[in-house]
Amino acid sequence: MTFEPDVLIAGAGPTGLMLAHELQLSGVDTVVVERLAERPGWSKALNLQPRTAELLELRGLLDRMRDDVVTTLPAGHFAGMELDYRELDTTQPWQLGIPQARVEAHLEAALASPVWRERTVEGFVQDDTGVTVTVDGSPVRARYLVGCDGGRSTVRKRAGVPFPGRDGRVSGVVADVVLADGPTGDWTLPALGTGPMTVLPLGDGAHRVLIAGAEQQVPRDTPITDDEVRRGLGEAHELVSVRWASRFTDATRLVERYREGRVLFAGDAAHIHLPAGGQGLNLGLQEAVNLGWKLAATVRGWAPDGLLDTYNAERHPVAARVLAAAQAQGVLMVPDPDVVALRGVVEELIRAAGPAMAERVAGLDVRYPIGGSHPLTGRRLPPVDRISVTGPGLGAGRGVLIGPSPVPRGWEDRVDHAKTNAALPAVLVRPDAHIAWVEGDGPLTEALARWFGGPVT
Ligand SMILES: Cc1cc2nc3c(=O)[nH]c(=O)nc-3n(C[C@H](O)[C@H](O)[C@H](O)COP(=O)(O)OP(=O)(O)OC[C@H]3O[C@@H](n4cnc5c(N)ncnc54)[C@H](O)[C@@H]3O)c2cc1C
């Protein structure tokens, strides 16, 4: 009999692999289809923000990655303005510098089923019971299809869902290079529209350089010559060789909706933006964690009505906010005296707002529109010692009720119980570690039914 997965994921980038991992936790049959025979040696992204690191830690994946961490920076930045992470209320108050290719390799190694490599998702047709996906000319039937196939997503285009926004106005070059003047710890603010640049040591003798606006309005596929990189470096550094180079732009687009029937989108397939502040990969992994348990619950048959639609309701505004921040950073890096004045004002406001901007860039300030009057409702579970957990808990992608009373009868198969010594009211935590209910916000059983379906008797 032909194998029919529950979920087919297009694309084995970080988002697709993380989603596959989330679905695997709940025993959902998943196939990841990737058109590349193997992962390229170079990496676009180089960092994990605190919220992403928290989620990887929660799932037991962070430890696997530790040996590949090149830098641990106690700060993030907004348009080059440093944001102190040290006082943030998190187990991960830093940016972990780790190449995207290594993150992907570890996620892939954690999967029980191999990725279908050198196979391309070409299109699909969906009906009431599933999606017939064309992979290299042959049909593969699945119950759901998720497009994690990057910014030029075939799945998004075939679905016909609008991708509003604007094209790039400036372009830049990212290159991993060997420099004659050897390692440097320099960070130089990239000035869009002028040329150099950020220089970041990669830890293996090479450097990442971002040459912003070196050749403006150049089509993205135009080959990058060593001379172009050399011109971008200017007098500052002598180029020995270019290992890898690619163009980026400040094109900004966000998919109109993250779901079209049985087809969903995540990661760059849903949004593109200027790679400022180290957000794109992080956004994709966080989306995968939001979507994974909801899709698993839908496939397994216990999802309450509307659960899958909360993926769009919760994540679309978060992505819109990240894109707006990337656009704002693009403007704030223009080397014009008036913009320099604006930067000064923005920096003052950032400092006056305490940790607010650091929490935002770190991904720690997200609050989902769940309702409820308690300030914790909808927010991520802060670091808290959980003692005497009755089951595998959040690490296994299950819900957890933290508090003195046990889980009401009928939900024990989906929700575990934990006690804590912390001064925390009783809380119901979803598998993505966001708080769905706080003691005092209406009956617990209503919240359980809303997020975990009806009781099983
Ligand atoms: C210069 C640059 C620097 C960046 N720096 C950072 C950073 O520091 N921090 C950060 O968080 N983000 C950064 N980003 C963004 C980050 O790299 C992306 O957001 C991230 O790669 C998105 O992951 P993804 O899995 O959604 O998509 P992708 O990484 O694009 O993966 C999509 C996968 O789908 C495959 N695919 C495509 N079409 C098909 C198909 N039809 N069938 C099968 N497979 C298909 C592709 O081969 C690919 O493997 C940077 C981006 C750029 C360009």
The ligand 1 atom at the shortest distance from the C-alpha of residue 122 is 41
Name the β-bridge partners of 434: 380
The ligand 1 atom at the shortest distance from the C-alpha of residue 33 is 43
Which residue has a Cα nearest atom 35 of ligand 1?
11
CA of 268 to the centre of ligand 1 (A): 6
Q: What is the mean pLDDT of residues 288-294?
A: 98
Which residue has a Cα nearest atom 19 of ligand 1?
280
pLDDT-derived band at 217, boundaries 50, 70, 90: low
Pocket test for ligand 1, best of 100, 136, 210, 249 (most atoms within 8 A of CB): 100
The ligand 1 atom at the shortest distance from the C-alpha of residue 280 is 19
pLDDT in tens, 71-103: 899 999 998 899 999 999 999 999 999 999 999
Q: Which domains does the chain have, with CATH numbers?
A: 7-165+253-361 (3.50.50.60), 171-249 (3.30.70.2450), 379-452 (3.40.30.120)
Residue 192 has pLDDT above 70, yes or no: no
Instruction: Annotate 70-114 with DSSP letters as a single string.
Output: -EEESEEEETTEEEE-TTSSSS--SEEE--HHHHHHHHHHT-SS-
Instruction: Annotate 36-50 with DSSP letters as a single string.
Output: SSS--S--S--EE-H
Give the pLDDT score at 183. Answer: 55
Phi, psi of 237 (to 5 degrees): -140, 145
Give the pLDDT score at 182. Answer: 64
CA of 40 to the centre of ligand 1 (A): 12
In which residue are the tokens 């002598």 written?
Answer: 238
Name, of 165-174, 186-195, 280-289, the range with top average pLDDT: 280-289
Residue 166: exposed, middle, or buried by beta-carbon count in 10 A (0-12, 13-18, 19+)? Answer: exposed
Spatial contact of 245 and 229, defined as CB atoms under 8 Å apart: yes
Q: How many helices (H) and strands (E) does the chain have?
A: 11, 25
Share of the chain above pLDDT 90, in %: 75
CA of 208 to the centre of ligand 1 (A): 17
* d(C-alpha 426, C-alpha 440), whole Å: 9
pLDDT-derived band at 236, boundaries 50, 70, 90: confident
Give the pLDDT score at 48. Answer: 97
> How long, in residues, is the chain?
457
Which residue has a Cα nearest atom 3 of ligand 1?
44
Give the pLDDT score at 68. Answer: 92
CA of 247 to the centre of ligand 1 (A): 13
Which residue has a Cα nearest atom 37 of ligand 1?
149
Give the pLDDT score at 191. Answer: 47
Residues in the ligand 1 pocket, defined by CB under 6 Å = 10-16, 33-36, 44-47, 100, 120-121, 148-150, 154, 174, 248, 267-268, 275, 278-282, 284
Tell me if residue 233 falls in helix, strand or coil: helix
pLDDT-derived band at 222, boundaries 50, 70, 90: confident
The ligand 1 atom at the shortest distance from the C-alpha of residue 11 is 34
Tell me if residue 269 falls in helix, strand or coil: helix
Spatial contact of 26 and 116, defined as CB atoms under 8 Å apart: no
CA of 150 to the centre of ligand 1 (A): 5
Pocket test for ligand 1, best of 9, 44, 120, 197 (most atoms within 8 A of CB): 44
CA of 163 to the centre of ligand 1 (A): 17
Give the pLDDT score at 197. Answer: 58
Average pLDDT, the chain: 92
Greater confidence (121 vs 387) lies with: 121
Helix axes 14-25, 280-300, angle to 10 degrees: 30
Name the β-bridge partners of 84: 75
Structure tokens at 297: 């619950």
Spatial contact of 388 and 371, defined as CB atoms under 8 Å apart: no
Phi, psi of 74 (to 5 degrees): -80, 30
Give the pLDDT score at 198. Answer: 66
